[in-house]
Amino acid sequence: MDDHNRYASPEELRYGSVLQIDAQVGLLMLIATFALYVSGAVSPLVPLEDLPKYWSLSAREFVAATDHPTGWAWVERITKADIATLAPIAFLAGVSMLCSLAVLPQFVRRGDAVHAAILVLQIVVLVLAASNAIGAR
């Protein structure tokens, strides 16, 4: 191990590199989808100029007034510019899982069953939480 990496394990370096790439991809996705929304190049569910009239509403009132999707229903309306901005947010929310998946093979190859099992459990919990399979409905 060279001096540059003597304080970080190979797993930490792999996690960090995947995190850096995914964060940059997520930021580019946010910029691109926001640009599509504000430019008007893609039609939105809620036009940008109409947003101020909804600012004083609660989330429940906003959803009722705009027919805005809730939960994972936004995926069905991904072609709307304002809804498309949710995709990079969902991607960024899953970045820790992607990083964990990237380092899992390293723990398995090394025979580190404890860390591998912890990562598998973490990934399962993240998938269950994201899918809303557990929790409040």
Q: What is the pLDDT of residues 29-50, one digit of tens each?
A: 999 999 999 999 999 999 999 9
Residue 30 belongs to a domain? yes
Structural domain for 27, as ranges: 8-131
- Give the CA count within 13 Å in the CB-facing half-sphere of 59: 3
Quote the number of domains for the chain.
1
Which has the closest alpha carbon to 85: 123, 131, 114, 51? 51
Which tokens sit at 101?
A: 């998946």
Residue 3 belongs to a domain? no
Residue written as token pair 């790439």? 21
Residue 2 belongs to a domain? no
The whole-angstrom separation of Cα 81 and Cα 37 is 5
Which has the closest alpha carbon to 87: 21, 45, 31? 31
Q: Considering the chain, what is the average pLDDT of its residues? A: 92
Predicted structure pTM score? 0.84
Q: What is the pLDDT of residues 14-26, one digit of tens each?
A: 999 999 999 999 9
Residue 1 belongs to a domain? no
Residue 26 belongs to a domain? yes
Residue 29 belongs to a domain? yes
In contact, 78 and 87? CB cutoff 8 Å: yes
The whole-angstrom separation of Cα 15 and Cα 105 is 12
Residue 136 belongs to a domain? no
Residue 91 belongs to a domain? yes
